Amino acid sequence: MDRGLHHPHHRPSHRCSRLALSFRRGVPPLGTALLLLGGCAATEPAYTSTPVPARDTRVDDRVAAVEGRMNEMSQRLDQMSGRVQTLEGSVKAAQGRADEAARKAESVDSRLTRLWTNRFNQKQADSLEVYFAPDSIDLSDAAQTALAAVVREMQAHPTLTVELGGYTDPKGALDYNYGLSQRRVDAVRRYLMEKGIPLARIQSASLGPIQGGDIPDAKKRRVTLRLLVDQE
């Protein structure tokens, strides 16, 4: 036998040793030799490997599903955060408009208080009204004719003062209507001053919309002028 083929951990059996001795002493019968050789044949130890289990794709699918739900929840949270910020902005804007309306109301109250106080020292000599188109501050020809008569009366009687009250119809936002009534008052006051009436003889207040259905809207869009004279 080729010594190079022996397994490093394989030792010849006792039977193989006897066979080798028989060969040295003499050639045994052929059949006996073959049987002995078959028993002495060295067998390599069998190497076995434990198979690695295949990757469980079900776990991967579950992990992917959980990650997908987490991403979806994250997107929803981002959307909700954006909506909350938008809502906060709208609330702040509404609060700003409410504060502005409150300031205008306080201004109107202050003017009305001043006018009411002056009434104790004045009496009404005359009154008239000039009307405006919807959402307009332009003085019509009829309005300018009426104002020209007021100018002549005040020039003829230097003790006269005029009280202006601006109004609108109830259509539209409240803060806008207060601003519109103020601009109408400004238009009338500007006309009087351009005709020579000093500002000290003009009192004014923007009173906003007139409510109620008993007055046509066309009559609500106006500036009322009250000529006042000091009581003796």
What digits encode the pLDDT tens for the residues 70-116? Answer: 888 888 888 888 888 888 887 777 777 666 665 665 565 565 555 55
C-beta separation of 61 from 69 below 8 A: no
Architecture of domain 109-230: 2-Layer Sandwich (3.30)
Please name the residue that has the structure tokens 């044949």.
41
Domain with CATH 3.30.1330.60 in the chain: 109-230
β strands within 67-193, DSSP E: 122-131, 161-168
The better pLDDT of the pair 159, 46 is held by 159
pLDDT digits (tens, 9 = 90+) for 144-162: 999 999 999 999 999 899 9
State the distance between the two ends of the chain, measured CA to CA, in whole angstroms.
Answer: 155
Q: How far apart are CA 193 and CA 26, in angstroms?
A: 154
Cβ proximity of 122 and 231 under 8 Å: yes
